[in-house]
Each structure stands twice: as structure tokens, then as C-alpha cells.
Structure 1
Amino acid sequence: MAAAVLLSGGMSACSDGRQEPVRIVGSSTIFPFAAKTAETYAERTGVVVVVEQTGSGGGHKLFCSGHASIDATTSSRPQKPSEAALCARNGVAPVIEIRLGNDGIVLARAVGAVPMDIDPLTLYSALARELPTSGLDCTPTPNPYERWSEIDPTLPTDMITVYGPPPTSGTRDAFVETAMEAGARAFPCLAAMEKDTPNIFRSRAHDLREDGRWIDAGENDNALIRTLANAPTTLGVFGFSFLDQNTDKVRGIAMGGVLPSQETIRNKSYPVVRDLFLYLRGGSALWADRGAADYVLEFTSEEASGPGGYLEEIGLIPLSDAERAEMRQRVERAKANAGPRP
């Protein structure tokens, strides 16, 4: 279910007297950052900013369907070619891609639960719907594992129960493309399959269990945090910022001996790292008096997403100064070239 936040002291007035808010849809992972930026921007300008939590896939669908009221979508993965094609068909062009920062995809469980260290092979062995018969025989067999200790005797005897994002989520896409694919490559026959038949490899690597060991938890990561806190033998998959803001309730699980932290995500020693994006309407659709471009400039400002900025305080891993400057230049060029509102 989409969550909407209306943040402002009043409506923004267009030059012709119309009153329209800036409207942002998209990623649940980026939602806290987008909402905090919206709140700050509204306090400074009086411009209404509506931020809706639709998931990355849902955000791209709405944005690219040509809804005139949607100015931008946030995404925890790059826009897919099929989504770019949908944007083009519906006249949502040009689209300006803005990198906002970095994020880690973490596994976590309740504070007080037994610590765990899971390598990619263990994770894949726990969550793949089907596994190779052996390292050299890729004949698929239903996943037989019920407990973590059956895969690795050093792990707890807890039942394998992992709550994670649904198929519409960019976090889900990034999780299967990084963690699950890395685990699949540990089987020599699957590693060879990736070279020979990459589409079949991706299908095998991305196909999660449907027997209750993996559970789609929806787009509300705060609800997932509450679930983990109340079920200490379960694990959850979500963006680092939600771990960073809930250390009183959940603790991160090490991946290959590395715990998730701002530093390990920044230096990419933590193995599951991704970029976070915002996609903005360009061309004549970028109406300067609606404030969309200025909102994105606030998002990419040093005060917001620079080192020590107010978004880093809630879990965003900043870009380098040079990268952030490049993103601001993209927005400034788009705003300068937008022209008058049709």
C-alpha cells in the first residue's frame, strides 16, 4: 500500500494562479530521505511536496505512464530498458537520471538473537527454490534445507525464515542480482551456465523459495522491523538506513565476515552495495515554477547529501563531492533548458 506524506505549511502557487504540489513517487528505501528533503525544502520555500511510497517498480510504472502530476520517481535500482521505452512511448522524455548516494542491502535479526555470519553460498543454499544436485551437476532439485544448521553446522538450529521485499521492489532486484547471483556462482556448474546460457543462470539464481522459508513482506520496511523484533529467530532483508535507524530493535548480520556499516558500504568491503537514483522529467515538462528541479537541487546539496549532511544522519551513504557536483549540474542544465510551461 502506498504511503503518502504531504509536507508543507501551504500550497505552492504557479505563476498562473494554479496550485499544484511537487509529487515524488517510488522506492521505499529512499522514502525516508525523500521525505526528510521534502520537509526541509517545504520549510524553506513554502512549496508543497508529496512523497509517495510505491516501490521502485511501481514508481517507474506511474512515472513512465505519463501522469502529468508526477514530477519524479526514486528508485533503488537503475531504470530498466522496458521502463525507459514506456517513458518514451508516453512522452515522458527526456528523463534525467540522478544518483543520490549509496546503500547496502542488509540481512538483520532482532537484538539479542544469536549473531550470524552468512556467506553468499550459504544464503543461496537457504533461499533458492531449487539447488543443483551437486557442484558439477546442475540438474535442479527442490531445496531440502529447513534449518540454518543443516547448511552450516556453525549456524543456529533456527528454522530458515527470511522476510524480504516483493518482486516490485528495487531492493528485491538488487538482492537477487548481487547476493543470490554471487551464491549461485559458488556452484561450478552454475558458474559455467552463466557464461553459456546467462538467461537460464539468472532465472536459477533469482528464483526464491515459495514454501514459507522466504516470505514477501511488502514495501513497508518499518513494519518489517517490528516483525523481526517480535520474532527473534527470523531474518529480514532491507536497506541499510532502516538498520541504522533501528539499532535498538535489530542487528545486522555479517556477510562473509563483514558487518554492514556506513564505512564498509562506502568502501564496498561489504558485498551487497548499490546506487540509489532519482529520475526527473526534463524538457518542457520540467516547469521551474512547480519547484521539482529546486527540490532535487536541495536533495543533492552539500547540506542534505554531503558528508555530515542531514541525510547521512539518517543512513544515506554520500557520493563523493565530485559525483554530487556532477548530479547537481545535470539538474541545473535541465532547469535552464526547460523553457516556459506549455
Structure 2
Amino acid sequence: MRSTKTIIFAAASVLALSACGGSGSSGGGARDFVRGVGSSTVYPFATAVAEAYAKSSGSKSPVIESTGTGAGMKLFCAGVGAQHPDIEDASRRIKKSEYEECQKNGVKEIVEIQVGIDGIAFAESKSGPGFQLTPADIYKALAANPFGKPNTAKTWKDVNPSLPAEPILVYGPPSTSGTRDALKELILEAGCKTDAATAALKDSDKDKYEATCHDIREDGPYVDAGENDNLIVQKISQNSKAIGIFGYSFLEENPDSLKGIPMSGITPTYATISDYTYPGARPLYIYVKKQHLAPIKSLQGYVAEWVKSWGKDGLLQKKGMVIAPEDVRAKSADIAAKMTPLDPAGLK
């Protein structure tokens, strides 16, 4: 099930978008509002900043779409011009292949700004059995072919004798989601590498290594819940035997119905995500199309509103975002002020 959410804070925004036209390296055409796409995890923060910006500036409020990080990157990198998004919200870093696609389509200058930190939270109902999991448990439960063999595990006890004999039922993000990418890279791969022979494939057969470590089973235990983290919250709230995977802010917003599941003995909390001791901690980003700064007059102001909002006790922390360390915030503020383009050298 896939749900694409769009918040339109100004009623005329959609009409204005359809009236815009033009493309090309100058960012042709005009639009009197900002358009952002991307991560469902970043979505509630992006919309909060959009509301604050509209209120403080008197400008039309940005239109923010929750498409998932991967799908958002495709839209963002499709070209330059008023028909294309100005900002991509991302729960992971842009990939080298995505950057190259942007370049191919004329999106030459991309500004990368880290706006905060989040964690891939594993959660269960308050009435759940009290799971205590490790990356290896998650990998053995959800991988399509754990350690190269078809996954036959039906219950958590099949995965680890110390776990409950409950059916494996995990609601999680779709393949277009940055949270799904982070799940694979931070949790599944960590579990996969506990087997020395499989870990060795990274050097000898990279394609086989990635398939073995990253592919998720499709026979029922893992349920793709679409780009709708609130749906996952509802599902696990109503089923004490189910587990949900989503951004930490959704766990923090539902303390009466959900509880976090410790990963390797570390519970997802603001503190453990902030210091990266929780295994699922990850940075959050926005990507700005620099070529749109001139034609989209409110774009710079919207980015500046992010800077105003991400500090200690600021709007975003109140909304559940884990704020980045002071030095990271200072660096991000400098990039936002100067609109310094991303150096792609470190992309993977």
C-alpha cells in the first residue's frame, strides 16, 4: 500500500505550479512558492518549517510532498525549471548514481545541508512481548537469503531460541524510502557481516554480497507499508505481536501506545540517537537546487527558516527531531548562507 501525502498550505499553489513553465540551465519559468519532495521521515519537519516560513515572511507556503527519498531524488534530478522540485528532503545521503543522474539532466549545482539526526526505530505495542533484538536477529528474520540460504524462519524463536515463539510480522518502509536504505545499510548489513564467509564476499563478489546482505524477503513476514509511517504506527498499535520500523520521531510522538525495541541492548532514545550509540542513528538532509535560487524567490528564505528552526529548543526539536551537534549545525548554517555546492568526491 502506497500513500503519497501532499500538504498545500496556500490554496492557489497548485494553480500557480501549473501556470509555470520553461526549463534549462537558468531555471527557466517562474513560480511563487517553493516545492519540496522526498523523505516521509523528514516530511513532518519540512512541513513545520514551511508553516513557520509562511507565517514569518508572509510568502506563500511551500508545497511539500512525501514521496520517499529514492522517488524524490528521481523527481529532483529530472531537470531544472519551474516544473521540477527545488528541494529534496532525504533520510540518507544522495548516492553517487543519483548525483550523476542530476548532472546528466542539467542539475549542476546541488547544495547538501544536514538538518538534524534521526534513528531507524524498531517499535512494538505497549502490550507487546518486550522484544530484545540484535542486527543479526533482524537480518535472519527479514533477509531473503540469510547467509546465502533461502529464509524459512516463521517465528522469532526460529531466528534466535531466546526470542518468543511469535510469528515474524514486521511493517516497514518500501524500496523507495531512505529509511529502507538505512535499514539495509545500518542493520541488515551489520547482521549479515556476523558470518565471516558472507562478510568476505564484499571483496570477492560485491554483487552477491549486496544481494545476500540487503535483499528483503517477500513471502509475508515483512510488510511494505508504503510511504506512510503513521499507518505503521496504527498497525502495530492494534497488533501486539507486530513490529514496526520508522523514523524515531514517530515513536516519540506515540509514547502511550508504543515502546521502542532495544537493539543490541540499546533503546532508541533522544540521547542514544544524538550520540550515535543506537545502531540505527543516521543524519537527515535537505538538498537544494542552486539554479532555482534566482527564479524561485522564496527558496533562500525557506532554507534560512530551516537554519532558524534546527537549534537547541527550536521548532524542530520540539517537533521530535534530534538536533545535530553544535559544530555540525554551524557548518550547515554556513553552507546554507553561502549555498556552497556539494563536492561529490565522497559519494558512494
In 1: Cα distance, 2:295 partner to 2:254 partner: 37
The alpha carbon displacement at 1:150 in A equals 2.1
1:73-92 to 2 correspondence within 5 Å? Answer: 73-92=88-107
In 1: Cα distance, 2:152 partner to 2:64 partner: 43
Which of these residues, 299, 302, 310, is aligned with residue 295 of structure 1? Answer: 302
1:274-313 to 2 correspondence within 5 Å? Answer: 274-283=282-291, 285-287=292-294, 290-301=297-308, 304-313=309-318
**1:80 counterpart letter in structure 2:** K
Asked if structure 2 preserves the Cα contact closer than 8 Å seen for 1:165 and 1:217, the reply is: yes
In 1: Cα distance, 2:136 partner to 2:122 partner: 15
Provide the aligned length of Structure 1 versus Structure 2. 321
In 2: Cα distance, 1:236 partner to 1:264 partner: 19
The alpha carbon displacement at 1:10 in A equals 7.6
The alpha carbon displacement at 1:207 in A equals 1.0
What corresponds to 2:172 in structure 1? Answer: 164
What corresponds to 2:72 in structure 1? Answer: 59
Asked if structure 2 preserves the Cα contact closer than 8 Å seen for 1:244 and 1:314, the reply is: no
Asked if structure 2 preserves the Cα contact closer than 8 Å seen for 1:9 and 1:42, the reply is: no
Instruction: State the Cα deviation string for residues 261-317 of structure 1 (Å, max 9, x = none).
Output: 01001111111111111110114x31276211211111122xx11111121122211
What corresponds to 1:129 in structure 2? Answer: 144
Instruction: State the Cα deviation string for residues 106-127 of structure 1 (Å, max 9, x = none).
Output: 1111111111110111111111
What corresponds to 1:35 in structure 2? Answer: 47
Query: Secondary structure, in 3 states, of the residue corresponding to 1:277?
Result: strand
1:92-107 to 2 correspondence within 5 Å? Answer: 92-107=107-122
What corresponds to 1:328 in structure 2? Answer: 333
1:134-149 to 2 correspondence within 5 Å? Answer: 140-149=148-157
**2:241 counterpart letter in structure 1:** T
**1:54 counterpart letter in structure 2:** T
The alpha carbon displacement at 1:153 in A equals 2.7
Does 2:281 correspond to 1:273?
Answer: yes
Gap change, CA 1:79 and 1:255, over 3 Å in 2? same
The alpha carbon displacement at 1:83 in A equals 1.3
In 2: Cα distance, 1:5 partner to 1:131 partner: 40
In 2: Cα distance, 1:19 partner to 1:265 partner: 38
Moved over 4 A (4+): 8-12
User: Considering only aligned residues, what root-mean-square deviation do their CA atoms show, in Å?
Assistant: 1.9
Instruction: State the Cα deviation string for residues 53-93 of structure 1 (Å, max 9, x = none).
Output: 11101111111111523211111111112211221122112
TM-score normalized by the length of structure 1: 0.89
Asked if structure 1 preserves the Cα contact closer than 8 Å seen for 2:116 and 2:321, the reply is: yes
For structure 1, list consecutive stretches of 5 or more residues without a partner in the other structure: 133-139, 336-342
Which of these residues, 183, 192, 200, is aligned with residue 184 of structure 1? Answer: 192
Instruction: State the Cα deviation string for residues 185-244 of structure 1 (Å, max 9, x = none).
Output: 111211222233233211100011111011111001011111111111111111101111
**2:154 counterpart letter in structure 1:** E
Asked if structure 2 preserves the Cα contact closer than 8 Å seen for 1:8 and 1:43, the reply is: no
In 1: Cα distance, 2:285 partner to 2:245 partner: 20
In 2: Cα distance, 1:189 partner to 1:259 partner: 30
Which structure dedicates a bigger proportion of its chain to strand? Answer: 1
TM-score normalized by the length of structure 2: 0.88
What corresponds to 1:216 in structure 2? Answer: 224
In 1: Cα distance, 2:320 partner to 2:74 partner: 27
What corresponds to 1:243 in structure 2? Answer: 251
In 2: Cα distance, 1:334 partner to 1:258 partner: 37
Asked if structure 1 preserves the Cα contact closer than 8 Å seen for 2:146 and 2:213, the reply is: no
In 2: Cα distance, 1:127 partner to 1:209 partner: 6
In 2: Cα distance, 1:192 partner to 1:96 partner: 36
Query: Secondary structure, in 3 states, of the residue corresponding to 1:255?
Result: coil
